[in-house]
Structure 1
Amino acid sequence: MNFKFCHNNFNVLNLEKSLEFYEKALGLKEVRRKEAEDGSFILVYLGDGESDYTLELTWLRDWDRPYNLGDNEFHLALRVDDFDKAHKLHKDMGCICFENEAMGIYFIADPDNYWIEILPQNM
């Protein structure tokens, strides 16, 4: 029996704002979408154009408050081929929420405050 990663899910309060963030900050693009017939939810899957792995953004029509992320000790991680250019982009966007210069990594926060770790290619 073999298991293979396929996606992670983040629930989002404002789907359009999140889609814009993920495309601008990480270059992730929509690869598929599922909408409930009654309009109660929308699932949008974002891909990096290279792997089969996706990030599922879930929007719930009746959710009216920010998601409780607890201590936010979980995160998604992405490698980037031009770390310095990515850092500048994220700094200009104002979304860097934590840097660990000793490890050579940093984290950005999306519009719902999910943390995303940015790693250099060689790490």
Structure 2
Amino acid sequence: MLDTETSDSFGYCAARAAGGLLFCSGQIGLEADGSVPEAASRQFDMAFAALAETLEQNGCATSDIVDLTSFHVGYPAHMEEFAKAKAAFLDGATCCWTAIGVASLGYPGSLVEIKAVATRPVATSQNA
């Protein structure tokens, strides 16, 4: 998650709802102190944790994800580790997925950024 100052200066929001969908901005894997973990697997786990938090804050779950896009520095290195982290995150759910190799990401040292589109649960009223 970016701090408020960064969010304001870059016009960033973690998620935005439109047309029954939730569009989640790319999430990277950072430690609580803002540092980038050295281990690729830790970065992947932390990026998925940040995405899960964004989904939860907006009333969605991982099972609501319909499309996942991941951007990888050094692609295809670490893809086996990433696939394991993705499988653990989705916990049996499936979705469309595109993996894209990139030269670098916006946060120095990051190896992956993950964005998602999720369906938003429809509120129902219980009439007697």
TM-score calculated relative to the size of structure 2: 0.31
Higher normalized strand content (fraction of residues):
1
Structure whose residues are more often helix by fraction: 2
* TM value normalised by structure 1: 0.32
Bigger relative CO (Cα 8 Å, ≥ 6 apart): 2
